[in-house]
Structure 1
């Protein structure tokens, strides 16, 4: 074993899983951003940064 890692690169199996099942991590991140945006709007709060507008 060489001890090398995939620094900054996803493991090859990840690409296969994304093709087969979709990018769950990216979907979860988008859902969290959407929830944060909606919560800020409903509570009248001002988020530290401007969240992305809601996806339709």
Structure 2
């Protein structure tokens, strides 16, 4: 974008290529976050059992925690 302007070259010489440094740091952070956020593989081990389905009451009963009672 600014690569053809003399002031850009002067700033690079004085301060370093800050946009390139920022891009590099952003790419490093993105790859680190992708690795950390990636979901763990699912296993069927006993410690990773699926959650029990929600409790449902038989017809004619109201849902009351933790038991079902007949409707009045």
TM-score, with length taken from structure 2: 0.48
Deviations 1:17-54 (A, max 9, x none): 10110000000000110010000010116xxxxxxxxx
Larger Cα-atom Rg: 2
TM-score, with length taken from structure 1: 0.60
Q: What is the match of residue 52 of structure 1?
A: none
Q: What is the match of residue 20 of structure 2?
A: 26
Equivalences for residues 12-23 of structure 1 within 5 A: 12-23=6-17
Q: What is the match of residue 65 of structure 2?
A: none
Q: Unmatched 5+ residue regions in structure 2?
A: 40-72
Choose between structure 1 and 2: higher strand proportion.
2
Change (3 A) 1:19 1:28: same
Choose between structure 1 and 2: higher helix proportion.
1
In angstroms, what is the RMSD of aligned CA positions? 2.1
Q: Unmatched 5+ residue regions in structure 1?
A: 1-6, 46-56
The question of 1:10 aligning with 2:4 is answered yes
Structure 1 outlier segments of 4+, above 4 Å: none
